[in-house]
Amino acid sequence: MLTLYGYFRSSAAYRVRIALGLKGLAYKHMGINLMPGISEQKSEKYLALNPQGRVPYLIDGDTALSQSPAILEYLEEAYPEIALLPQDMHERAHVRQLASLIGCDIHPLNNLSVLGYLKTKFEAHEADVTAWYSHWILEGFTAFEAILASRKAMSKFCHGNRPGMADVYLVPQVWNARRFGVPLSAFPQITAIDAACNSLDAFIAAAPENQPDAPKSK
């Protein structure tokens, strides 16, 4: 069985959970608490396993990987029976473009380590950090929505009529946007795709609130 080290609120780990669910792959969950003051990712034990000290971290037999793009590409190649990328080369490039827009342009600027650095190094107030977060979400989602609008044929998901790699990236980013109170009314296609995805078992099971390490409401 595969083992996934993650944190319930990590966008990158969320992506991998969705992909594992869509591919029907069972895995063992290992929670790594990223909360400041706990910071299990900085423990000697975890750093000995994953020198970068981040999540997700996937172990599949003799293969051990960090970085969600590498993990997702590995899963696509190692378990191709249920593909998350189209067969056509041009369509694959289009899907990777959407995934990279989130994975390269939005998420890195809004990662926990970046937000923490803004607070500690530059003494940014909470309102400033939220404004920073919102700015990069809105800029990225504006481009993402425009690319969706340029599709030759509208579809229920980012590409085609079943969820794929672009949806794997999009849904966690929408979840984070809502968590930070970013208004999404200007992005009807994004929110419609998010709703379609979140009606499916793989996305429901991968949601942060449904993880074993998520705080339980009383």
Token look-up 């593909």 returns 83
Q: Where are the beta strands (DSSP E) in the chain?
A: 2-6, 27-31, 57-60, 63-66
Would you call the peptide bond into 183 cis, given omega within 30 degrees of 0 as the criterion?
no
Confidence of residue 216 (pLDDT cuts 50, 70, 90): confident
Residue 30 pairs in a beta bridge with: 5
Per DSSP, the three-state class of 102 is helix
Picking from 82, 115, 114, 103, the residue whose alpha carbon sits closest to that of residue 170 is: 103
**Nearest residue to 113 (alpha-carbon basis) of 198, 52, 197, 24:** 52
Which of 32-41, 153-162, 197-206, 208-217 reaches the highest mean pLDDT?
A: 197-206
Candidates 3.30.70.141, 3.50.50.60, 3.20.20.110, 3.40.30.10; CATH matching 2-82: 3.40.30.10
pLDDT of residue 93: 97
pLDDT, mean of residues 200-217: 94
Task: State residue 171's pLDDT score.
Answer: 98
List the 2-6 sheet strands across, edge first.
27-31, 2-6, 57-60, 63-66
What CATH number was assigned to the domain covering residues 89-203?
1.20.1050.10
pLDDT recorded at residue 217: 63
Give the pLDDT confidence of 67-76 residue by residue, as tens digits.
999 999 999 9
Mean pLDDT, rounded, for 119-127: 92
Nearest to 11 by CA among 176, 197, 191, 206: 176
Q: How confident is the model at residue 218 (pLDDT cuts 50, 70, 90)?
A: very low
Lowest mean pLDDT, pick from 33-42, 56-65, 97-106:
33-42
> Which residues make Cβ contacts (< 8 Å) with residue 204, sequence separation at least 6?
198, 210
C-alpha span between 19 and 76 (Å, rounded): 9
Cβ partners under 8 Å of residue 87, min gap 6: none
Q: What is the pLDDT of residues 144-193, one digit of tens each?
A: 999 999 987 889 999 999 999 999 999 999 999 999 999 999 999 999 99
Domain residue limits, the chain: 2-82, 89-203
